[in-house]
Chains A and B, each alone.
Chain A
Amino acid sequence: MRNRFFLALLGATLFLGACSDPKTGYVDNVALYNQFELKQELEGRYLAYKQQTEKELDSIKVELKALATTLDNSEDKAPEQVREFNRIRQQFLERQNRIQQEEEELSNAYTEQVWEHLNTYLREYGEENEFAYILGGSGQGNIMYSSEQNDMTNELVDYVNKKYRGEG
């Protein structure tokens, strides 16, 4: 009698386990990305770098403008002055291109680092909490509807930041 009861209980558990939906949730990618502390830290560094390079370019620009004004005002343009102007203009354009390239590389490297951290922490969260799927929604139609109870954005923001700080 007892054995039958346990067998029935086991069967019911297995049946319910098989029928239950896989655990899923969704996260607002944009909010998660923007509220991630590593992203904020790297963004600060990127802006600082950008400011520094802008200052550098501005100082060349000032020199260039001064030379251009001198050249405009002089009736007979000395060939050395024209050559100097062209040299500085060339230097400015080269530096500007190099800076643009460096900024792009830095931005890509930082974005890659942020996503590397985020993907690792999300995978760890999913494994720890036995999620089958964590979907990423950004309001662009990739998730058309989900009830708010499946929105894990705030929880995940806390989780990834703790992980980043080394607390988790």
Chain B
Amino acid sequence: MNWWITSTRSTVAKVKLLSVLLVVALFTACAPGTMPARQFANWCDQPENGLVKARQLSGLNFTLTYQPQQLVAWRNQDTTRQGQGFDGWEYYHLKIGRQGSNRELLKELATTPESYQQLVNHLSFQFQKGISLQAGDTQLPCLHYHFERTYGLSPEVDLVFAFKNTDPEFEQNRRITIEDPIFGTGILNFQLQGADLQTAQAIEIY
């Protein structure tokens, strides 16, 4: 009888221990505190983590991805500083491509070499003016902007841009507005949840 009671107690204790472990595992799975940089880069690209927003319009795919500071730092080979050099900035990456096409997008849109050059010039120097960020009531212009030239090696258009971060704790949701005069879509809005940006910011990479 005593043996049975002891055995039952031991089973109950094991179940309790397993439950605690399960809860701990769940918490760590929900909020990954640290992870390798490469894994973090993949994590940021998973749409379920809320940092990627995609839109399809006029036969084009527009994919906007929030780039956490630590990821930008790592991509710039600066892992030790954990993004300190990028403090106060919010980086985004916008990819524009045509559905089911491997041809360079700008070459598809251009009718002559001159119009191709005009598109390149527009993306290099003018497109930035049509990009803004809204956090709550604050509207911010795009201050850093880079159009990645691929010289026909990639079918997509890649843009990286940044805004001054006036809400470093990400208490507000973000709305990125792109006013596009060349792809024929007009105004495009992307909304990112502040909570998702907070989660990404809290992850340390190594």
Contact = CB atoms under 8 A, between A and B. Distances in A.
Interface residues of A, number: 14
Contact of A166 (B53, B56, B184): B53
Contacts of A117: 57, 185-186
B58 interface: yes
Interface of B is mostly: strand
Contacts of A113: 184-187
Contacts of B53: 166
Nearest to B176: A166
B189 interface: yes
B139 to A, nearest CB: 14
A76 interface: no
B93 interface: no
Nearest to B188: A166
A120 B55 CA distance: 10
Interface in B176-203: 176, 184-191
A120 B57 contact: yes
A33 to B, nearest CB: 14
B175 interface: yes
Interface-central residue, B53, B176, B187, B188, by most chain A CB under 10 Å: B187
A145 to B, nearest CB: 34
B186 A166 contact: no
A164 B191 CA distance: 10
A42 interface: yes
A68 B190 CA distance: 55
Contacts of B176: 166
A41 interface: yes
A165 B184 contact: no
B186 A42 contact: yes
Contacts of A164: 187, 189
Nearest to B53: A166
Given A42-B186, A110-B186, A165-B175, A116 B191 contact: no
A157 interface: no
A41 B176 CA distance: 16
A38 interface: yes
B186 A165 contact: no
Contact of A120 (B56, B187, B190): B56
Interface of B: 53, 55-58, 175-176, 184-191
Q: Which 10 A-B pairs have the closest CB atoms?
A: A113-B186, A166-B189, A166-B191, A166-B190, A167-B191, A165-B189, A120-B57, A116-B58, A38-B187, A166-B175
9 contacts: A38-B187, A116-B184, A117-B57, A164-B187, A166-B55, A166-B176, A166-B188, A166-B189, A167-B191
Given A116-B58, A166-B53, A166-B190, 17 more contacts: A42-B186, A42-B187, A110-B186, A112-B184, A113-B184, A113-B187, A116-B57, A116-B185, A117-B186, A120-B56, A164-B187, A164-B189, A165-B175, A165-B191, A166-B175, A166-B176, A166-B189
